[in-house]
């Protein structure tokens, strides 16, 4: 199925400004889908089945103090997925994908910070538009998986992205050094709320997102 962050970002491409996308069903691959405009929201449809719902919305979230690029490099070395990855073919954090295919964002626990993870990320030219600027749906993807690894450094059970609310402030170019940071906000039963942010190597904020994850039963 399609990566949750990528699917959310693809629907958000059709919404002006910050957006919130709720995933309602797995998104099939190699399938023609339809976007239906309802006026106040959009639906991503696979025939009669609604895959996702998107609407304009600004994340009610304040970014954490940014982790430095060097800290992110150190944290990434302890990425739990190097030893036990739940989805090694994941577009964002999968360890089976080569450079230029997957994003290869390996967020590990940051020393001295509870439930905070970080990773360095240098966007590949394959993930940029013709002008060299990273595509919005790729930025949404980058804001996805790090949130799942904020639960003591790894998902304790399989987790599915339920909702992603993101805002993009500035767009990096292919080859720019970036830092992706994630932190746990709260947990209510099987729901886990996380924050993620994307920074330039200088600490300038590029994007932020609030996510709701659902723990499998």
Domains defined along the chain, listed by start: 59-215 (3.10.129.10)
At 82 the three-state DSSP class reads: helix
Phi, psi of 103 (to 5 degrees): -80, -25
pLDDT at 40: 95
Neighbours of 9 (CB within 10 A): 26
Residues 6+ apart with CB under 8 A from 113: 67, 183
Please tell me what DSSP assigns to residue 39.
Answer: S
Whole-structure pTM value: 0.94
For 21, 64, 77, 136, 145, the CA distances from 5, given in Å and listed in that order, are 9, 21, 23, 11, 8
CA–CA distance, 25 with 89 (Å, rounded to integer): 19
Digit-by-digit pLDDT tens for the chain (217 residues) are 899 999 999 999 999 999 999 999 999 988 999 999 999 999 999 999 999 999 999 999 988 889 999 999 999 999 988 988 888 899 999 999 888 899 999 999 998 888 899 999 999 999 999 999 999 999 999 999 999 888 755 555 678 899 999 999 999 999 999 999 999 999 998 899 999 999 998 899 999 999 999 987 7
- Indicate the helix (H) or strand (E) that contains 71: helix 69-76
pLDDT at 154: 54
* Dihedral angle computed from the Cα positions of residues 171, 175, 181 and 182, in that order, rounded to the nearest 10 degrees: 80
Residues 6+ apart with CB under 8 A from 97: 89, 90, 91, 104
């Amino acid at each position: 199925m399609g990566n949750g962050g990528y699917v959310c970002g693809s629907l958000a491409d059709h919404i002006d400004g910050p957006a919130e996308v709720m995933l309602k069903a797995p998104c099939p691959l190699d399938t023609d889908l339809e976007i239906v405009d309802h006026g106040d929201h959009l639906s991503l449809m696979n025939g009669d089945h609604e895959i996702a719902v998107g609407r304009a919305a600004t994340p009610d979230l304040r970014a954490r103090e940014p982790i430095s690029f060097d800290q992110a490099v150190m944290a990434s070395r302890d990425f739990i997925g190097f030893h036990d990855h739940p989805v090694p073919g994941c577009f964002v954090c999968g360890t089976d994908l080569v450079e230029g295919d997957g994003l290869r964002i390996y967020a590990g626990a940051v020393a001295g910070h509870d439930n905070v993870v970080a990773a360095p990320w240098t966007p590949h030219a394959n993930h940029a538009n013709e002008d060299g600027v990273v595509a919005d749906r790729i930025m949404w993807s980058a804001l996805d998986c790090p949130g799942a690894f904020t639960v003591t450094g790894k998902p304790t059970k399989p987790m599915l992205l339920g909702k992603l609310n993101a805002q993009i402030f500035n767009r990096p170019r292919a080859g720019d050094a970036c830092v992706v940071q994630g932190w746990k906000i709260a947990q209510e039963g099987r729901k886990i709320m996380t924050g993620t942010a994307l920074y330039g190597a200088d600490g300038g904020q590029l994007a932020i997102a609030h996510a709701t994850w659902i723990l499998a039963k």
